[in-house]
C-alpha cells in the first residue's frame, strides 16, 4: 500500500507541474504533505518533517550552490570562462569538445562532491555553448554523466566510502574496480547517448551569459583563469591527501585541515581568491564585484527553492519508513545477491530520490546476505552505488539542478537526464556482473 501511495504522489506531482503549471516548490510542499498524511505521519509531526526535509538538504547545499554561483558568475563576466573555453577547444577542437568536457568532468569529479562539481563546471559548459552556438544538452551531458558516475561509484565520495566501511571492503580494490566500470558507463551515458539529443531545445539560465566588459576592465590570462576557476579542486585534493601523507599529523593540525577542506569553506576561500585575481586585479572595484555576486544570487533564488522542495518529499518518505519497508520486502526475492542489492537501491532511489539514502538503506538490509553468500564486498559496494543512481526524477535535487540550469521542460529532462542516469546505473550493474565472473 505504501508503494502505491508513493507512485500516486509522484504522478500527481508531475501532473501539477507539467499539466497545470503549478510552481514546482509549491507543488512539492502540497504533494509531500498529502503523501505524509496518507503514509501515516501524525499531523502534529508534519510541520517538523517539512522543516527537517528543507534543512537537511539545504543545510549542505545552500552555501555550495550560492558561493558556486557567485564564483561562476565572476568567472563568466571577467572573461575567464572564455579563456578556459578557448584553451580547451584549441586542444580538443569543437568536434571533440564533448570528449574533452567528459574527461574534465571525470578528473574534477573524483575529488569533488557532486554539487560543487556541478556549479563549478556548468559555467564552462555554457561558455562553450554560447561562444560556438552548440546545443546545451548535447554538449553538457557528457561532463555531467562523468560527475554522476564518480559520485555514485568512487571513493572518496560519501556513499562509496560509507559502503566500503559497512561491508569491510578493500578501499583500493573498490576504487580500481570502480574505475574499470566507470569508463564504459561514462562513455555510453555521455558522448554516445548525448549524440541523440542534439535537437533538444533548452533555455539555459542567464547567470553565465554576461559578456566580459573588456572596455572597462582587463581580461585575465589563461593560467590565471584556469587556476582561479579550479582552485576548489586543488584545495579539496590537498585536504584529502595531506592526512594520508602525514599520518602523524597532530590533532590540532588535522582539525585545521578538516576545517579548511570542508566544501563550504573551500568555496568561500576560492571566492575570496577569485575576487582578487579575477576582479580587483583586473581593475574592478569591490563594489563592482559585489554587484556581480548580487546578480548571481538573484538568478538562482528559484532554483534553491525547488531543490528545497525536493528535500521535503525525500524526508516524508524517510520518516514514513517507506524506504526500509521496500528493502525488507525485496530481501526475500530469489535472485543473485549483487542483482538484489542493485534492485533494492534502485527502487528506493525511485521512491526516495536521494542516492545516498538509497544505497545506505539497501546496504543495511542486504549486509547479512553478503556475509552468508561470500559475495565480493567491493562488488557489492559498486552494485549498490550503481543502483542508487537509477532513474533520477522529480524527487531528486540533481534532476532539478539540471532542469533549471539548462532551462528544459519536464519531458526533455526525463528524456535526457533521467535516461542518462539510468544508462549509468544499468551499465554499472552489467560491469559488476562481468567482474564477478572474472574475479
What was the pLDDT predicted at 137?
97
Q: How far apart are CA 223 and CA 277, in angstroms?
A: 11
Residue 209 has pLDDT above 70, yes or no: no
Structural domain spans, the chain:
2-438
Work out the average pLDDT over 321-328: 79
As a whole number of angstroms, the distance between CA 143 and CA 102 comes to 4
Q: Name the pLDDT band for 334 (thresholds 50, 70, 90).
A: confident
Is the pLDDT reported for residue 158 higher than 80?
no
Which grid cell sits at 300? 538562482
Report pLDDT for 248.
80
- Average pLDDT estimate for 139-168: 90
Rounded distance between C-alpha atoms, residue 68 and residue 264, angstroms: 9
The model's pLDDT over 278-322, given as tens digits with 9 standing for 90+, comes to 999 999 999 999 999 998 998 888 888 988 888 898 888 888 888
Find the mean pLDDT for residues 73-90: 87
Distance from chain centroid for Cα 242: 25
pLDDT of residue 148: 95
Per-residue pLDDT at 435 exceeds 80: yes
Cell 569533488 identifies what position? 112
Q: What does the alpha-carbon distance between residue 118 and residue 140 come to, in Å, rounded to a whole number? A: 11
Per-residue pLDDT at 212 exceeds 70 = no
Is it the case that residue 102 has pLDDT exceeding 80? Answer: yes
Residue 370 has pLDDT above 50, yes or no: yes
303-320 core/surface letters (b: 16 or more CB in 10 A; e: else): bbbbbbbbbbbbbbbbbb
Q: Is the pLDDT of residue 205 over 90?
A: no
**Where does the pLDDT of residue 360 fall: very low under 50, low under 70, confident under 90, or very high at 90 and above?**
confident
The pLDDT of residue 213 is 52
Least confident of 12-21, 136-145, 151-160: 151-160
Averaged pLDDT for residues 16-20: 90
The answer to whether 306 and 22 have CB atoms below 8 angstroms apart is: no
The span from the CA of 427 to the CA of 59, in Å, is 32
pLDDT band at 214 (very low <50, low <70, confident <90, very high): very low
pLDDT band at 210 (very low <50, low <70, confident <90, very high): low
Q: What percentage of residues in the chain have a pLDDT greater than 90? A: 55
Segment 327-346 shows an average pLDDT of 87
Q: Are the CB atoms for 167 and 370 separated by under 8 Å?
A: yes
Q: Output the CA–CA distances (angstroms, integers) from residue 13 to 272, 310, 357, 387, in the order listed.
A: 40, 11, 21, 23
Rounded CA-CA distance 318/407 in Å is: 30
DSSP state of 281: G
How sure is the predictor about 64, in pLDDT bands with cuts at 50, 70 and 90?
A: confident
**How much is the mean pLDDT over the chain?**
90
As a whole number, mean pLDDT of residues 414-432 equals 98
pTM of this structure: 0.83
Q: Is the pLDDT of residue 215 over 60?
A: no
What is the band of 76 on the pLDDT scale with cuts at 50, 70, 90?
Answer: confident
**pLDDT tens digits, residue range 224-258?**
998 999 898 788 878 878 888 887 888 889 999 98
> Of the ranges 13-22, 86-95, 422-431, which is most confident?
422-431
Highest mean pLDDT of the ranges 54-58, 169-173, 191-195: 191-195
**Does residue 111 register a pLDDT over 80?**
no
Concatenated DSSP letters of 163-228: HHHHHT--HHHHHHHHHHHHHHHHHIIIIIHHTT-TT------GGG-PPP-TTTS----HHHHHHH
More confident residue, 325 or 390: 390
pLDDT > 70 fraction of the chain, expressed in percent and rounded: 97
What is the pLDDT averaged over residues 23-27?
A: 92
Amino acid at each position: 500500500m505504501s508503494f502505491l501511495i508513493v507512485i500516486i504522489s509522484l504522478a500527481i506531482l508531475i501532473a501539477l507541474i507539467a499539466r497545470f503549471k503549478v510552481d514546482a516548490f509549491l507543488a512539492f510542499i502540497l504533494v509531500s504533505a498529502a503523501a505524509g498524511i496518507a503514509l501515516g505521519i501524525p499531523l502534529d509531526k508534519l510541520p517538523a518533517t517539512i522543516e527537517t526535509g528543507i534543512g537537511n538538504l539545504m543545510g549542505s547545499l545552500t552555501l555550495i550552490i550560492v558561493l558556486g554561483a557567485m564564483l561562476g558568475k565572476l568567472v563568466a563576466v571577467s572573461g575567464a570562462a572564455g579563456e578556459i573555453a578557448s584553451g580547451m577547444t584549441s586542444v580538443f577542437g569543437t568536434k571533440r569538445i564533448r570528449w574533452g568536457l567528459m574527461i574534465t568532468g571525470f578528473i574534477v569529479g573524483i575529488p569533488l562532491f557532486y554539487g560543487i562539481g556541478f556549479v563549478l563546471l556548468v559555467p564552462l559548459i555554457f561558455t562553450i555553448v554560447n561562444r560556438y552556438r552548440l546545443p546545451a544538452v548535447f554538449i553538457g551531458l557528457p561532463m555531467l554523466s562523468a560527475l554522476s558516475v564518480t559520485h555514485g561509484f568512487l571513493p572518496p565520495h560519501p556513499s562509496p566510502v560509507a559502503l566500503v566501511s559497512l561491508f569491510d571492503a578493500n578501499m583500493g580494490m573498490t576504487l580500481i574496480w570502480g574505475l574499470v566500470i566507470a569508463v564504459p558507463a561514462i562513455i555510453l551515458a555521455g558522448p554516445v547517448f548525448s549524440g541523440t539529443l542534439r535537437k533538444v531545445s533548452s533555455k539555459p539560465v542567464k547567470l553565465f551569459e554576461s559578456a566580459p566588459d573588456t572596455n572597462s576592465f582587463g581580461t585575465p590570462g589563461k593560467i590565471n583563469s584556469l587556476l582561479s576557476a579550479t582552485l576548489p579542486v586543488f584545495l579539496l585534493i590537498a585536504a584529502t591527501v595531506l592526512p594520508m601523507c602525514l599520518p602523524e599529523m597532530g590533532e590540532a593540525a588535522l582539525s585545521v585541515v578538516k576545517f579548511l577542506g570542508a566544501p563550504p569553506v573551500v568555496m568561500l576561500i576560492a571566492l575570496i581568491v577569485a575576487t582578487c585575481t579575477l576582479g580587483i586585479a583586473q581593475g574592478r572595484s569591490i563594489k563592482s564585484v559585489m554587484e556581480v555576486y548580487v546578480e548571481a544570487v538573484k538568478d538562482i533564488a528559484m532554483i534553491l527553492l525547488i531543490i528545497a522542495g525536493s528535500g521535503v518529499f525525500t524526508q516524508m518518505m524517510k520518516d514514513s519508513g517507506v524506504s526500509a519497508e521496500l528493502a525488507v520486502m525485496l530481501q526475500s526475492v530469489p535472485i543473485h545477491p549483487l542483482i538484489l542489492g542493485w534492485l533494492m537501491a534502485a527502487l528506493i532511489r525511485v521512491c526516495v530520490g536521494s542516492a545516498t539514502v538509497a544505497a545506505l538503506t539497501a546496504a543495511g538490509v542486504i549486509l547479512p546476505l553478503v556475509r552468508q553468500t561470500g559475495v565480493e564486498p567491493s562488488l557489492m559496494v559498486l552494485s549498490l552505488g550503481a543502483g542508487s543512481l537509477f532513474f533520477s526524477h522529480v524527487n531528486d535535487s540533481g534532476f532539478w539542478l539540471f532542469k533549471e540550469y539548462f532551462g528544459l521542460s519536464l519531458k526533455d529532462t526525463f528524456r535526457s537526464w533521467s535516461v542518462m542516469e539510468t544508462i549509468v546505473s544499468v551499465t554499472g550493474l552489467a560491469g559488476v556482473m562481468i567482474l564477478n565472473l572474472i574475479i
